[in-house]
A and B are shown apart, each in its own frame.
Chain A
Amino acid sequence: MITVLIPAHNEASGIVGTLQSLKKLTLIPDRVIVVADNCTDGTERLALAEGAEVIRTLGNKDKKAGALNFALAGLLAEAAPEDMILIQDADSQLSYDFLERAVAHLRADSRLGAVGGVFRGADGGGFVGHLQRNEYARYARDVKRLRGKCLVVTGTAALFRVRTLRDVIAARLDGTLPAGDGRGGVYDTSVLTEDNELSFALLTLRYRIKSPADCTLVTEVMPTWRELWAQRLRWKRGAVENCVQYGWTRVTRPYWARQGLSMLGVLVTLSYFSTVAFALVTGAGLHIQPFWLAVTGVFVIERVVTVRLRGWKYMLAAATMYELVIDLFLQVVHAKAYVDAAFNNKKAW
């Protein structure tokens, strides 16, 4: 039995498209449940009209993670161990064969804890939307090259076995994993990035996670710089705090390494532009060096090659390095996330 669970907080604008995409799948799920969480718009009505079941949360203050725990508590109590649950965002449309392929991947490996998706950015959002679509295309290429190996099974869409989620619950209750909501909920309601934490949890329990290249979906992009800022600040700070939460373990070592490199990158960016500013202000000047020009050429090639999934026009445009706008923007976001995490500034998302 396959159940699709869609947490939704005021998702009237996207829920119909999401539910309609589920009707076009080559493998139709047995149940589709929309978890309406504190909705004040037409989400529930639209979901019911599309034939989905609707569960309404009661007094949930823990956002998406709380809504999912609420729904899973009932679902897991009734399910068989090998039943499967697909948890997907309300603003994402699965490709027609996503579920069929994801199920096949899960069935082929008893220690595969979760199968995630590789996503493309939906249309819209102007220039900032375009930059995110390029970014997603690069991510998809990375995952494809790594044959589905991924750092995180994203909350965008992920398929789990019931027994896997029960293992997570048991481990939370016996102290093997962080307690989460303290009531045996699958998702940790105390973190900013519950999908990242659940990935850590599965890896800690010696499950594997995977985002196969053939499990694709389309997800919304952030339509403004402000919203992208908020989203990435949450992702980055959440990732850092998840590392702190789990400490230095067999699982987290590569994640810490990436955080270290990322932090170094922020410092280098800051240092470099400081030196350039200093050189220009003092009149020391900048000297073009053939060696560094060649190095720059490699970075240009990297930009061009890695956006290949978007087609030749985008590859050509990437050669101008105009995407440095988002690279530098993300550097600032990362710096802010590290500062917020270090000083435990108020979390908001």
Chain B
Amino acid sequence: MTTMYNNPAAPAAAGLGSGTLAMTGAGDLFWVALAAFALLALGLAIKRIVPVRGEKS
């Protein structure tokens, strides 16, 4: 068995658990890349939350 519940949002959720993104001076591009992934993970998380048709509540 290989494909378990693999949530790509997990690292972003872990990182954002403090409600922050560290501004380290590593450069805007780096920060933007992290933020972009976090937003991608956000989209995936919303997709998981939203009920699908036919799903019992």
Which residues in A have some Cβ–Cβ distance to B below 8 Å? Answer: 135-136, 138-139, 142, 144-145, 147, 150-152, 154-156, 193, 195-196, 232, 235-236, 238-239, 242, 258, 261-262, 264-266, 268-269, 271-273, 275-276, 278-279, 282, 284, 286-289, 292-293, 295-296, 298-299, 301-303, 305-306, 321, 324, 327-328, 330-331
Contact = CB atoms under 8 A, between A and B. Distances in A.
A258 B6 contact: yes
Interface residues of B, number: 40
B16 A296 contact: yes
Contact of B14 (A278, A298, A327): A327
Contacts of A266: 11
Interface of B: 1-26, 30, 34, 37-39, 41-42, 45-46, 48-49, 52, 54-55
A272 B11 contact: yes
Contacts of A331: 10-11, 14
Given A152-B1, A152-B3, A268-B15, A287 B20 contact: yes
Given A292-B19, A298-B45, A262 B6 contact: yes
10 contacts: A196-B3, A242-B2, A258-B6, A272-B11, A272-B21, A288-B18, A298-B49, A299-B9, A299-B13, A303-B13
Contact of B24 (A261, A279, A330): A279
Nearest to B51: A145
B2 A152 contact: yes
Contacts of A278: 22, 24, 26
